[in-house]
């Protein structure tokens, strides 16, 4: 049975969703050029330096869904990734940052369903949740019963978060009732696991479609909305993310429920992480800088954050290869 209580690792009640309410989004207009201008100002109007930048980067690290979604994933690779998730920074960097009493960890480890048992075993006792992609990731074109079965299997194996992909045709043809019904069914299949709805925004063609798909997914009970699978030609961008977080703000004002946000695909540098943190702070507020409301889907990003933090405490830049991902 699906509940709305906050599971371990999350501090907020689940998004219970609403009835499908097209009047909340059907007439929505998105000014693309204005969205692009606003996104551009985010990276030029704010400058965070020195110890403040280090604090923001530690926060970004804590919001990472450390991810491996490769066809040649192995149990060994997943175990190494989980070891890095539990100790993402070298001990000397942690000590010099003054964090030895409470060393930071990442927000979650994200893997394919078949790798969930390995990740759960490796992370046991750490408090770090295992997230799993599901529902025919990345295309999402398998029959619905198979997609729901994949969710249930991953949850049964110990996944506490499920990253589903929507059926993009339903957005492109404006079949909102079908999209709503499928996401609601996936939410039910998740049980107590959090549902992150991947919109694959690079396939949705317009920002108006992005806004509408965001609103329908939240009405259907998505706990997070996520930009991309990381496999599209265009993944997370600031204008797309701005459109999605504006939809979240509207949904929150209409319902009183907070929904999380996850950009994924293309975020590779510490500067990228800072840009998205600034977006969340300016558009939604300080509360959306915590991992129960903000995640970054990434693999290589962690290495650059560790490199920048090493520079902060030593004054020297190491080669990027010095900070192995796992």
Q: What is the pLDDT of residue 12?
A: 81
Tell me whether residue 20 is exposed, middle or buried, using C-beta atoms within 10 angstroms of its C-beta: 0 to 12, 13 to 18, 19 or more: middle
CATH number at residue 307: 3.20.20.70
Task: Please indicate, yes or no, if residue 4 is contained in any of the structural domains.
Answer: no
What are the two backbone dihedrals, phi and then psi, of residue 85, each rounded to the nearest 5 degrees? Answer: -60, -40
**Are 323 and 303 within 8 A, CB to CB?**
yes
Task: Please indicate, yes or no, if residue 133 is contained in any of the structural domains.
Answer: yes
Strand positions, DSSP E, the chain: 64-67, 108-111, 130-133, 161-165, 194-198, 224-226, 260-262, 296-298
Report helix, strand or coil for 196.
strand
Task: Please indicate, yes or no, if residue 17 is contained in any of the structural domains.
Answer: no
Task: Please indicate, yes or no, if residue 92 is contained in any of the structural domains.
Answer: yes
Task: Please indicate, yes or no, if residue 137 is contained in any of the structural domains.
Answer: yes
Q: What is the pLDDT of residue 48?
A: 82
DSSP state of 154: H
pTM, rounded to two decimals? 0.94
Task: Please indicate, yes or no, if residue 326 is contained in any of the structural domains.
Answer: no
Q: What is the pLDDT of residue 188?
A: 98
Task: Please indicate, yes or no, if residue 194 is contained in any of the structural domains.
Answer: yes
Domain that holds residue 77: 25-320
The catalytic residues are 163, 226, 262
- Domains in the chain, number: 1
Task: Please indicate, yes or no, if residue 3 is contained in any of the structural domains.
Answer: no
Q: What is the pLDDT of residue 49?
A: 83
* Alpha-carbon distances, residue 55 vs 25, 64, 84 (angstroms): 37, 15, 20
Sequential pLDDT tens for the chain (326 residues): 455 654 445 668 899 999 999 999 999 999 999 999 999 998 887 778 889 999 999 999 999 999 999 999 999 999 999 999 999 999 999 999 999 999 999 999 999 999 999 999 999 999 999 999 999 999 999 999 999 999 999 999 999 999 999 999 999 999 999 999 999 999 999 999 999 999 999 999 999 999 999 999 999 999 999 999 999 999 999 999 999 999 999 999 999 999 999 999 989 999 999 999 999 999 999 999 999 999 999 888 999 999 999 999 998 877 766 666 65
Q: In what order do the strands lie in the sheet with 64-67?
A: 260-262, 224-226, 194-198, 161-165, 130-133, 108-111, 64-67, 296-298
Tokens of 299: 């693999």
What are the two backbone dihedrals, phi and then psi, of residue 102, each rounded to the nearest 5 degrees? Answer: -140, 75
Q: How far apart are CA 223 and CA 218, in angstroms?
A: 7
């Amino acid at each position: 049975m699906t509940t709305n209580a906050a599971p371990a690792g999350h501090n907020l009640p689940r998004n219970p969703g609403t009835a499908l309410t097209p009047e909340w989004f059907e007439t929505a207009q998105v000014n693309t050029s204005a969205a692009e201008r606003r996104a551009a100002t985010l990276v030029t109007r704010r400058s965070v330096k020195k110890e403040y930048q280090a604090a923001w980067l530690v926060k970004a690290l804590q919001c990472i869904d450390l991810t491996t979604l490769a066809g040649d994933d192995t149990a060994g690779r997943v175990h190494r990734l989980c070891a890095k998730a539990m100790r993402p920074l070298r001990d000397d960097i942690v000590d010099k940052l003054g964090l030895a009493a409470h060393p930071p960890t990442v927000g979650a480890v994200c893997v394919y369903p078949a790798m969930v048992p390995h990740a759960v075993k490796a992370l046991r006792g750490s408090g770090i949740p295992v997230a799993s992609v599901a529902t025919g990731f990345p295309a999402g074109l398998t029959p619905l019963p198979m997609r729901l079965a994949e969710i249930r299997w991953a949850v049964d194996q110990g996944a506490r978060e499920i990253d589903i992909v929507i059926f993009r045709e339903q957005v492109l043809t404006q079949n909102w009732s079908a999209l709503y019904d499928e996401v609601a069914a996936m939410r039910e299949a998740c049980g107590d696991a959090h549902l992150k709805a991947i919109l694959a925004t690079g396939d949705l063609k317009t920002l108006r479609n992005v806004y509408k798909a965001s609103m329908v997914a939240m009405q259907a009970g998505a706990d997070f909305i996520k930009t991309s699978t990381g496999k599209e030609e265009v993944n997370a961008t600031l204008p797309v993310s701005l459109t999605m977080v504006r939809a979240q703000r509207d949904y929150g004002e209409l319902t009183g429920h907070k929904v999380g946000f996850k950009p994924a695909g293309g975020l590779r540098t510490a500067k990228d992480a800072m840009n998205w943190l600034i977006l969340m702070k300016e558009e939604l507020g300080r509360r959306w800088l915590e991992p129960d409301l903000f995640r970054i889907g990434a693999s290589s990003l962690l290495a650059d954050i560790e490199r920048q933090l090493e520079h902060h405490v030593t004054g020297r830049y190491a080669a990027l290869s010095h900070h192995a991902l796992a």
